[in-house]
Structure 1
Amino acid sequence: MMTPPEMEARIVRYGDLRPCRTAFIDAHTPGSDQKENFTIIGGGVSEAADQHVHITIPHGFNIGAAGQPPKCRNSLHSHRTAEVFFVLSGRWRFFWGRWGDAGEVVLEPGDIFNIPTGIFRGFENIGEDYGMIMAILGGDDAGGGVIWAPQVIEDARDHGLVLSEEGKLYDTKKGQSLPDGVGLMPVLSDEDLKAFPEPTTREVIPGYVARYLDLVAMADRKPVLVIGENGILRDKPGFEVGLLTRASSTKDMHRHDRPSVLMPVKGHWRVVWDGTDLYPAGEATLAPGDTMSVPEDLDHTAYPAMTGEAALYHIVGTGDPAGLTWTG
């Protein structure tokens, strides 16, 4: 049985998130130097030694977030495993390709994007206020880090940041230098770059983007599987993502044989565990931006705690290898 204090330790409140402003190689590059990176569950892909990790329990996937003021962008990069974003707040433009001009899509709050693995991608806040996007990354080790487009590494070097072959950042303007025997991260060659596809907007959006309002309509009677082998976005990235709404929520308890994660996007949600809805062992209330890790084999349920719009993303690992998701 999990006590309320034990469960509270598995909740990361939006207001308690601890940002890292030097997480990646473009942290000093104009246009990218105001972004904040958050590692909520798992080690993430940060290249900074001072990145705070809120929950270290392995889940089979990582949970993170990116917060950026208007006109701030995240530079072009690629991952070896899945990278899924849903918009918590703001208006965001995602773009992809070697130079970021192969395709793009604009996402609003609640929209979700299962970005194809193996392509260069970036994103920027095109709204008028500070915005936040929540991220799900495949695997416990998030695939061994980030692969940067060559121009990103070159621009960063001009502003004092270099990346070692071990994936660690060094700030030359602070007098830091690579240890003896450690080289720079190799820049991808022209031959290497041929392995990165350049899909068009028309090719990507149908199979990789789901709009929040469409998902809400589909979740009018039961939760909708958004990402999964039989999901709206068909994929096996190592986890499944579902959307639960007021209309599809239930007070019936259920459990998973793996840790799962609850992430409200709209409204406040009451989570109860063990016992019954009327007599639970414990309960907690989640708000948008909060993240809750539910232990495996724990009976629990979640339903709206207040009137009004309510929607919650639910993530559970599947154990599938997080391989390439772009099929052309």
Structure 2
Amino acid sequence: MTPAEMEARIVRYGDLVPCKTAFIDAHTPGSDQKENFTIIGGGVSESPDQHVHIKDTPGFNIGAAGQPPKCRNSLHSHRTAEVFFVLKGRWRFFWGRWGKAGEVTLEEGDIFNIPTGIFRGFENIGTDYGMIMAILGGDDAGGGVLWAPQVIEDAKDHGLVLGENGKLYDSKKGQKLPDGVGPMPLLADDVLARMPEPTTGEVVPRYVARYWDMMALSDRAPAPVIGPDAMLVDKPGFDVDFISHTTPVEEQAMDSHHVLMPMRGHWRLDYDGGSVVLNPGDTCAVPPGLRHSVTPSMSGEASMFRVRSNDDPAGPTWVG
């Protein structure tokens, strides 16, 4: 692989293109300052304005959310896995029909494999602009977002309507639903009644891994974070490993797609054809069969997440 070909497979943090109108709550006060990023794959954005950095998917999607302090993402659900790790800031995640079933606070480097099939939301509770990186199961990320009914109702008061085709229409811009396209129907009461309401005690021990625990477990080999025999035993359609500056990672060629996502420090990626440095917030898609190795490019703390494709289905993840 040539250096130019490899660079085309890297999305730099500083090159990320945000979309501020990605979802139905884009005009709703309290959520109207959030930014959505689609890094690998189309993700679940509802806006034609969304920029997609790398369109080809390796069996999962990679995205990100950036928000200033006190900005929140409204309650929604997915049909496939949704995994977040905190790149910058301090975040509160909450879940349930009204967002009151449970909650957890995540610090930088913590990872949360949010159970599929429950409403979830999150907000930046730090003092600066924050960023969380996301992994979504499946090539098409489950076909979209399921919103809590009150989110759709609130959005109408601020000019946004979601069509049954999954696209947003902004009445403030003179847009309206096309002929033959109705509004997205609200979830029926019987569907809402079947959605689980797990408590904090049920969710956190099984679905949250803390940064310093992963650092401790990665001293001799990559620490399995999500997957069979991992810290968070699950089959969301991909595996997640954690690599730190003390992890010996030998040169290898994997038979699956995988994505490198540095958390802290600078990493040198040596591959058959060249060498490149990856920085925190960068995303690098390594193709199957490419011989490569990763090592910290300088002394000090360094860590990264490695996401690998597998043959598992893309969800669900919640087992009550």
- The interval holding the TM-score normalised by the smaller chain is over 0.9
**How far 1:256 sits from its partner (Å)?**
1.8
CA drift of 1:302 comes to 0.6
Identity among equivalent positions (%) equals 71
Q: CA deviation at 1:259?
A: 1.7
Residue 278 (structure 1) aligns with? none
Q: What is aligned with 2:211?
A: 212
CA distance in structure 1 between the aligned counterparts of 2:159 and 2:229, rounded to whole angstroms: 46
Asked whether the equivalents of residues 84 and 112 of structure 2 are also in contact (C-alpha less than 8 Å), the reply is: yes
In the aligned structure 1, how far is the partner of 2:162 from the partner of 2:65? 21
The match for 1:288 is 280
Aligned counterpart, 2:98: 99
**How far 1:174 sits from its partner (Å)?**
1.1
What is the Cα deviation at residue 257 of structure 1? 1.8
Q: Which residue of 2 aligns with 1:10?
A: 9
Give structure 1 regions of 4+ aligned residues with deviation exceeding 2 angstroms: none
Contact kept, 8 Å, 2:64 with 2:132, in 1: the verdict is: yes
- Residue in structure 1 matched with residue 295 of structure 2 by the alignment: 303
Amino acid at match of 1:159: H
Counterpart residue identity of residue 88, structure 2: S
User: Are 1:263 and 2:261 counterparts?
Assistant: yes
Q: Secondary structure at the match of 2:66?
A: strand
Task: Kindly indicate whether residue 245 of structure 2 is the aligned counterpart of residue 253 of structure 1.
Answer: no
Provide the C-alpha distance between the structure 2 equivalents of 1:290 and 1:135, rounded to a whole number of angstroms: 13
* TM superposition shift of 1:319: 2.0
| 1:61 equivalent in alignment to 2:53 | no
Whole-Å separation in 2 of the counterparts to 1:165 and 1:154? 15
How big is each residue's C-alpha offset from its partner over 1:128-172, in whole Å with a ceiling of 9 and x where there is no partner?
000000000000000000000000000001100000001000001
Give the Cα–Cα distance (whole angstroms) in 2 for the partners of residues 236 and 46 of structure 1: 24
**Cα separation, 2, equivalents of 1:293 and 1:322:** 19
Q: Letter of the aligned partner of 2:200 in structure 1? A: T
Native 8 Å contact 1:88 1:131 kept in 2: yes
Q: Does 1:320 align with 2:312?
A: yes
* Residue pair 1:269, 1:305 contacting (<8 A) in 2 also: yes
- CA separation in 2, counterparts of 1:105 and 1:323? 22
What count of residue pairs does the alignment treat as equivalent? Answer: 320
The residue type equivalent to 1:118 in the other structure is G
Give the 3-state SS of the residue equivalent to 2:151 in structure 1.
Answer: helix
Task: Supply the distance in 2 between the matched residues of 1:302 and 1:154 (Cα, whole angstroms).
Answer: 48
SS at match of 1:6: helix
Distance 2:39 2:120 in 1: 22
Does the 8 Å contact 2:137/2:315 carry over to 1?
no
What secondary structure sits across from 1:233 in the alignment? Answer: coil
Runs of 5+ in structure 1 lacking a partner? 275-280
Is contact 2:72-2:124 (8 Å) kept? yes
Q: Quote the residue 1:165 is aligned against.
A: 164
Which residue in the other structure is 2:129 paired with?
A: 130
Distance 2:129 2:218 in 1: 29
Q: Give the CA deviation at 1:223.
A: 0.7
> Are positions 1:117 and 2:110 aligned together?
no
CA distance in 2, matches of 1:142, 1:319: 15
Q: Deviations over 1:168-187 (max 9, x none)?
A: 00001111011100111000
TM-score (ref. length: structure 2): 0.99
Cα-Cα RMSD: 0.7
For residue 176 of structure 2, give the secondary structure of its aligned residue in structure 1. Answer: coil
- 1:229-248 aligned within 5 A: 229-248=228-247
Distance 1:126 1:225 in 2: 29
Aligned partners of 1:76 and 1:254: how far apart in 2? 41
State the alpha-carbon separation in 1 of the partners of residues 65 and 191 from structure 2. Answer: 28
Map Cα deviations across residues 46-90 of structure 1 (whole Å, 9 max, x no partner). 000110000112210000000000000000000000000000000
Shift of residue 258 of structure 1?
A: 2.2
Q: Which residue of 1 aligns with 2:77?
A: 78
Asked if structure 2 preserves the Cα contact closer than 8 Å seen for 1:249 and 1:302, the reply is: no
CA distance in structure 1 between the aligned counterparts of 2:233 and 2:265, rounded to whole angstroms:
27
Partner SS for 1:62: strand
Gaps of at least 5 residues in structure 2 are: none
